[in-house]
């Protein structure tokens, strides 16, 4: 496995590279030549004789048994079929042909070939690209097959095409944007989770924004044609910078590469000095007609930067749906505290903010005589207490700290920490909900870490409203404000995972997700902002926002499966903390993105803005969000009255 020889820093399936082959009656030899001899990982091969036509067999009435259109399943072991062969459905089939005989032959053959592939335990089959822009009958037959099978993936072959002219004429056979063809097909198949894409990558590429759409789709393979390769100075195949960037994107999104076509480079016999050419010359793949192409793809993979430690840790969380924490209603467990306390960058930012607040609160000449009252509300196991005391030491200020925590289990750890560090004369531990505590004195500074992935979704506004009564009129709150943001996404995998629950409730629930296989369709926009302290007399934590998103004009059409939610917080003055993509705090992992699904995905076109409505609703014992799309086509209002998802007060 050439691409995987790095030693496994990344567990993506993109480590595997296949080769497209012609039909071969001798399957063991075909496998041996391409895998054992050349180090390709799998073959993309026809499973049936391409000359077979059911109508021709009908004419031969003497045929009294099943025609020998394929070889025996015994020529390979089940594990070989499963691991090393992707079936290629006959490319001649055209289920939307005007020719009735061809249409019927196509339908019969498609079902026979899928049935045979299923019998062989092949994991996936490549479906030929629709012959025109009309594909309703093709999609109907594929959908019938998908309804009756649960153990095979179908990859629809789609050319990677997008012209600069955005005026689509779907009645014509000319394909201006192949994404439109894919979208029509998968809509007809009801977004089936076993239907994916295999992209035919050609010598010319669409714009970067147009390409970006595909990373949120269910793309399983990228078929790179040999005529897409250029020739380097030494006569070996290489790819343009844009193609290289695209291939790296495929690697990062677990998309397998397939080399297709006949060799178009006549390789020189001279030895190479470059690292890539040394790999080629020293490897047995050079004996294979496409070996140099495989080695070049392997070279691109091998020169990628290793994943950072944090990314390696988060690999298992990519696109996995998780329920947001409810730390006000539930007591967090030790493992959760342990994970968050390892986020060094978060506490560095808090310490910076506290330092600035201490310097502003007490001038240098009064530093040794004035005790600043600082309250950590929601102290957990003490990381903010430590950051506060370190800030005091750094600035030369004197502190009197109250550590307020409602979780009795965390309070046990707090007492142990205070005793261990010798903070008994500085830190007072209060085992109480901050909303119900009667403080013995007013605070100069109020410090909290109550922020969720959407800013206010862990009820920071409600908690700090309750704590504000023991903050001095001119006191400082850290954080001083925070804003939530949303961004429309194509997120096919996540949508199918939500859909698998087969109920409305899961489509009306917000999830915490480490987003990966998604396409961000437009820049994020601010939604709700909260400021602390809030001294207004008519304050309310209910919010409503209408937003309009417009995609870049060269993107083309796209599908919206839901919205990513982020936050950006001002801790104090110029000290920020957040996960909004354009201002994200680097090297911080305490928060994954929040995701708001749509029950029915919305197709948006370049000339049709996406109008979105978001509400933050408050009841006597819960807070919840409602959301909907109003344009280009209305969606239902999700989570009405908090019927599916809410945060308990």
Q: List the catalytic residues.
A: 449, 458
Q: Which residue has the tokens 């949508």?
A: 495
The per-type count for the chain, helices as H runs and strands as E runs, is: 18, 26
Q: Is 538 annotated as a binding residue?
A: no
Residue 346, annotated as binding a ligand: yes
* Closest residue by Cα to residue 569 from 489, 648, 477: 477
* Residue 405 among known ligand-binding residues: yes
Contact partners, residue 65, CB within 8 Å, separation at least 6? none
Confirm if 385 and 403 have CB atoms less than 8 A apart. Answer: yes
Strand-pairing partners, residue 405, are 431
Going from the C-alpha of 88 to that of each of 1, 50, 155, 593, the distances in angstroms are 22, 10, 9, 38
Task: Kindly state the tokens that stand for 33.
Answer: 């030549």
Largest CA distance in the chain: 109
How many Å apart are CA 253 and CA 222, to the nearest integer? 11
Distance (Å) of CA 127 to CA 43, 138, 214, 399, 471: 15, 10, 18, 69, 66
Question: What gap in Å lies between CA 418 and CA 228, rounded to an integer?
Answer: 65
Reduced to 3 states (helix: H, G, I; strand: E, B; else coil), residue 456 is coil
3-state secondary structure (DSSP) of residue 350: helix
Residue 13, marked binder: no
433 is in an annotated binding site: yes
Residue 290's nearest CA partner among 81, 46, 26, 37 is 37
The answer to whether 22 is annotated as binding is no
**How far is 249 from 257, CA to CA, in rounded Å?**
11
Work out the number of other CB atoms within 10 angstroms of the CB of residue 273: 8
Tell me how long the chain is.
649
Name beta bridge partners: 401.
Answer: 374, 427
Q: At what angle do helices 136-147 and 178-188 cross, to 10 degrees?
A: 50
Binding site as annotated, residues for S-adenosyl-L-methionine: 337, 346-347, 405, 433-434
Binding site as annotated, residues: 337, 346-347, 405, 433-434
């Amino acid at each position: 496995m050439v691409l995987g020889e790095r030693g496994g820093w990344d567990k993506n399936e993109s480590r595997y590279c296949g080769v497209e082959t012609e039909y071969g009656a001798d399957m063991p030899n075909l496998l041996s030549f391409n895998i054992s001899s050349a180090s390709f990982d799998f073959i993309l091969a026809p499973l049936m004789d391409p000359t077979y036509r059911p109508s021709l067999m009908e004419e031969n009435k003497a045929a009294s048994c099943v025609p020998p259109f394929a070889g025996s399943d015994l020529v390979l072991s089940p594990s070989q079929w499963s691991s090393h062969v992707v079936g290629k459905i006959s490319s001649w089939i055209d289920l939307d042909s005007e020719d009735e005989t061809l249409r019927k032959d196509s339908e019969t053959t498609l079902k026979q070939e899928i049935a045979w592939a299923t019998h062989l335990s092949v994991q996936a089959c490549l479906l030929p690209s629709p012959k025109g822009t009309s594909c309703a009958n093709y999609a109907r037959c594929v959908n019938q097959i998908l309804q009756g099978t649960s153990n095979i993936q179908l990859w629809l072959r789609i050319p990677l095409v997008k012209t600069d002219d955005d005026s689509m004429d779907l009645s014509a056979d000319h394909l201006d944007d192949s994404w439109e063809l894919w979208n029509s097909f998968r809509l007809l198949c009801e977004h089936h989770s076993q239907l994916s894409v295999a992209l035919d990558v050609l010598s010319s590429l669409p714009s970067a924004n147009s390409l970006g759409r595909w990373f949120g789709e269910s793309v399983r393979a990228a078929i790179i044609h040999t005529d897409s390769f250029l020739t380097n100075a030494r006569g070996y195949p290489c790819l343009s910078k844009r193609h290289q960037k695209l291939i790296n994107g495929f690697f990062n999104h677990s998309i397998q590469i397939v080399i297709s076509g006949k060799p178009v480079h006549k390789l020189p016999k001279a030895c190479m000095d470059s690292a890539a050419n040394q790999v080629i010359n020293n490897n047995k793949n050079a004996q294979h007609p496409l070996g140099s192409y495989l080695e070049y793809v392997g070279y691109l993979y091998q020169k990628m930067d290793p994943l950072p430690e944090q990314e390696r840790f988060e690999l298992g969380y990519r696109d996995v749906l998780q329920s947001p924490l409810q730390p006000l209603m539930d007591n967090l467990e030790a493992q959760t505290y342990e994970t968050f306390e390892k986020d060094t960058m978060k506490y560095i930012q808090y310490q910076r903010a506290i330092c600035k607040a201490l310097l502003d609160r007490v001038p240098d000449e009064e530093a040794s005589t004035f005790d600043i009252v600082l309250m950590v509300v929601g102290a957990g196991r003490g990381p903010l207490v430590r950051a506060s005391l370190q800030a005091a030491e750094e600035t030369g200020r004197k502190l009197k700290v109250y550590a307020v925590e409602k979780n009795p289990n965390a309070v046990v750890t707090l007492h142990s920490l205070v005793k261990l560090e010798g903070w008994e004369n500085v830190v007072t531990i209060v085992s109480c909900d901050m909303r119900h505590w009667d403080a013995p004195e007013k605070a100069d500074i109020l410090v909290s870490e109550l922020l969720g992935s959407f800013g206010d979704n862990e009820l920071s506004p409600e908690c700090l409203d309750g704590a504000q009564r023991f903050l001095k009129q001119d006191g400082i709150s850290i954080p001083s404000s925070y804003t939530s943001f949303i961004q429309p996404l194509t997120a096919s995998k996540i949508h199918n995972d939500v859909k698998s629950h087969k109920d409305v409730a899961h489509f009306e629930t917000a999830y915490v997700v480490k987003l990966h296989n998604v396409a961000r369709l437009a820049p994020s926009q601010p939604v709700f902002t909260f400021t602390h302290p809030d001294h207004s007399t008519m304050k309310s934590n209910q919010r409503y926002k209408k937003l309009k998103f417009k995609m870049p004009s060269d993107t083309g059409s796209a599908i919206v499966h839901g919205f990513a939610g982020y936050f950006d917080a001002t801790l104090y003055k110029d000290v920020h903390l957040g996960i909004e993509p354009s201002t994200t705090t680097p090297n911080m992992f305490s928060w994954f993105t929040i995701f708001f699904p749509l029950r029915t995905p919305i197709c948006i076109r370049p000339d049709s803005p996406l109008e979105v409505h978001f509400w933050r609703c408050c009841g006597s014992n819960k807070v919840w969000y409602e959301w909907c799309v109003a344009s280009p086509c209305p969606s239902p209002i999700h989570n009405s009255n908090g019927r599916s998802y809410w945060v308990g007060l």
